[in-house]
Amino acid sequence: MRNAIAAVGGPPIFERPLQIVRPVFPDANKFLAPFQAALASGQVTNGGYWVLEFERQLSEYLGVPTLVFCNGQMALMTMLRAAGIERGEVIVPSFTFAATPHAVRWCGAEPVFADVAADGSWCLDPDDVERKITPKTVAILGVDAYGIACDYTRLTEIGRRNGLRVIFDSAPSFGTRVGGRLVGGFGDAQMFSFHATKAFTTMEGGCLCTHDPELFARAKAIRNFGQLADGDCDEAGINAKLTEVCALIGIEQLKSFEQAALTRRRAVARMREGLSKLPGLTLASAPPDQDPIWLYLPVFVDEREFGLDRDDVAAALARENLYVRKYYSPPCHHMRAYAASHEISLPRSEASAFSVLALPVYNDMTEDECDGIVQAFLEVHHAAPRVKRAFG
């Protein structure tokens, strides 16, 4: 035990910084030969051999036809457009990364923000979604916050009943299971990000999954400028093609992903066990039939009970070499880009955004690291009055 925590002059708990993400990539030698062959042949993109093989493996793994993209945001914009979104309103959570409403706007529609549920999932509240439906609504875009799947069943039921598209921004949740089944095939379509911050990463990348052959074909055309076989374009597409090297990395990552998922879930269980003993901390919890991949472990800080507010906790943890983040803050409806939504009230989103800390979860997290994180919270809590004075 230290005499003092780092915020008041003691040595940090962690010798080396624990960043918010610690991506794990295969050694380049694992895919060097096919990568060199791709460079030598010049076939480095545009649906090359490894992109097609990666798509085949993903489709098999997820159990749903899958297209890969250069990044998650392009998969998201393509998904929206392929679902026919060109105008009108799309209901989205505000408590999410800004990519979600941004994609809606790029597609010519306007995001309408709904609140998150009170069930501890911090995902879209189906009741509030239903209240936000207007004659202009064209789609519900659910988000899997932190990798926790939103309520696919109820959101889909509400969408079907109202004649709306139901699509899921599952950027953080590749590997999450609902009822034992990997997510990917829910709603009209679902997309994932393979960005370096994600549990499953190809450096940059993403994919779109759908059982709807028409949406699939349209997304495939949009990904390559909207070009059809005859050289004509039905609609304005983009370039959202993945390179062979990213596909090669993805194929390697798939081999070790189940093990990585297990490590992440064990790490979260261990941190949850320790952190739940502290007063003033609320941890997100998945519905009982779910096994999220846990992109991060979100913790909500009650200033009165914990003894420090969220910002002071983050600052004190940084002194311990533990770099947590304030995801998702500010809530999207408070951003300058969405000025028209500043007046709406989303009490749970607002309270969450101003009390949340996202804790790191790594594919190769050790038990010592989990215990160190718990210990850091514990000691910061115990030293709260001194920290408060130190931060003045």
Taking CB under 8 A as the binding criterion, the range among 28-36, 131-139, 154-162, 344-352 that sits at the site for a copy of itself is 28-36
Would you count residue 17 as binding a copy of itself (CB under 8 A)? no
Residue list 176-195, contact with a copy of itself (CB under 8 A): 195
Q: Which of 56, 327, 367 is nearest to 172 (CA)?
A: 327
Taking CB under 8 A as the binding criterion, the range among 35-43, 120-128, 148-156, 370-378 that sits at the site for a copy of itself is 35-43
3-state SS class at 219: helix
Q: Which of 71, 48, 54, 45 is nearest to 205 (CA)?
A: 71
Q: Which of 306, 258, 300, 251 is nearest to 279 (CA)?
A: 306
State the minimum distance, in angstroms, from the CB of residue 383 to a copy of itself: 27
68 vs 383 by CB, closer to a copy of itself: 68
Would you count residue 203 as binding a copy of itself (CB under 8 A)? yes
What string marks each residue from 97 to 126 as x (binds a copy of itself by CB under 8 A) or -? xxx-xxx-xx-x------------------
Strand partners, 142: 168
Q: Write phi, then psi, for 275 (nearest 5 degrees).
A: -70, -25
Taking CB under 8 A as the binding criterion, the range among 9-17, 25-33, 146-154, 290-298 that sits at the site for a copy of itself is 25-33
> Where is 139: in which H helix or E strand?
strand 137-143
Strand partners, 214: none
State the minimum distance, in angstroms, from the CB of residue 329 to a copy of itself: 7
> Position 33: which residue type?
A
Taking CB under 8 A as the binding criterion, the range among 4-12, 149-157, 244-252, 256-264 that sits at the site for a copy of itself is 244-252
For residues 128, 186, 213 and 47, what is the CA-based torsion angle, rounded to 10 degrees?
Answer: 110
State the minimum distance, in angstroms, from the CB of residue 16 to a copy of itself: 13
61 vs 106 by CB, closer to a copy of itself: 106
Q: Write phi, then psi, for 154 (nearest 5 degrees).
A: -70, -40
What string marks each residue from 65 to 94 as x (binds a copy of itself by CB under 8 A) or -? -----xxxxx--x-----------------
The size of the interface with a copy of itself (CB under 8 A), counted in residues, is 59
84 vs 226 by CB, closer to a copy of itself: 226
Contacts (Cβ under 8 Å, ≥6 apart) of 290:
148, 149, 176, 177, 178
Residue list 218-237, contact with a copy of itself (CB under 8 A): 225-227, 231-237
Task: Tell me the longest C-alpha to C-alpha distance in the chain.
Answer: 74
Residue position matching structure tokens 């749903």: 64
Structure tokens at 304: 């009165």
Q: Are 87 and 234 in contact (CB under 8 A)?
A: no
Applying CB under 8 A, the residues found at the interface with a copy of itself are 21-28, 32, 35-36, 39-40, 42, 44-46, 70-74, 77, 97-99, 101-103, 105-106, 108, 195-196, 203-204, 225-227, 231-239, 241, 243-246, 326, 329-330, 335-337
